[in-house]
Amino acid sequence: MILGIGVDVVHVARIRHWLAIPGLPERFFSEEELGAVRDRGGAIALSLAARFAAKEAFGKAIGTGLAGITLKEIEVANNHNGKPDIRLSGSAARKLGELGGRKVHVSLTHERDNAIAMVVIED
């Protein structure tokens, strides 16, 4: 059964701005997330914008927003086919448990200026 859905859009310029501020990306993205996009050249901001959208979409899908959740504990990683998967730990995993969620699906898209993510939570 579907317990929640969430969608979010992020302006890529906002993330590009963050990337220029030392230490800021590390506040929002895990080492693995930053490492996975490091060699994407001009697409780094696009990919991180989509990953940030996924974090906010997760907050909507659980229905409480991101209050009390450490953003780095909502991680997006691509599988061998390139499909993104959400990995939750710590505060994010706890919130999912409180809702009774067991499976989380994510889909990402981005173009020049905007990135969008959609999250579905199943029991």
Asked if residue 68 binds ligand COA (CB under 6 A), the reply is no
Asked if residue 59 binds ligand COA (CB under 6 A), the reply is yes
- CB contact at 8 A, 66 and 59: yes
- Told to judge if 60 belongs to the known catalytic residues of this protein, a careful annotator would answer yes
Asked if residue 107 binds ligand COA (CB under 6 A), the reply is no
- Told to judge if 80 belongs to the known catalytic residues of this protein, a careful annotator would answer no
Question: According to CB under 6 A, which one of 26, 32, 63, 113 is a site residue for ligand COA?
Answer: 63
Asked if residue 25 binds ligand COA (CB under 6 A), the reply is no
Residue 45 beta carbon to ligand COA: minimum distance, rounded to whole angstroms:
15
Question: According to CB under 6 A, which one of 47, 49, 56, 76 is a site residue for ligand COA?
Answer: 56
Kindly list the residues in this chain that would bind ligand COA in the complex (CB under 6 A): 8, 56, 59-60, 63-67
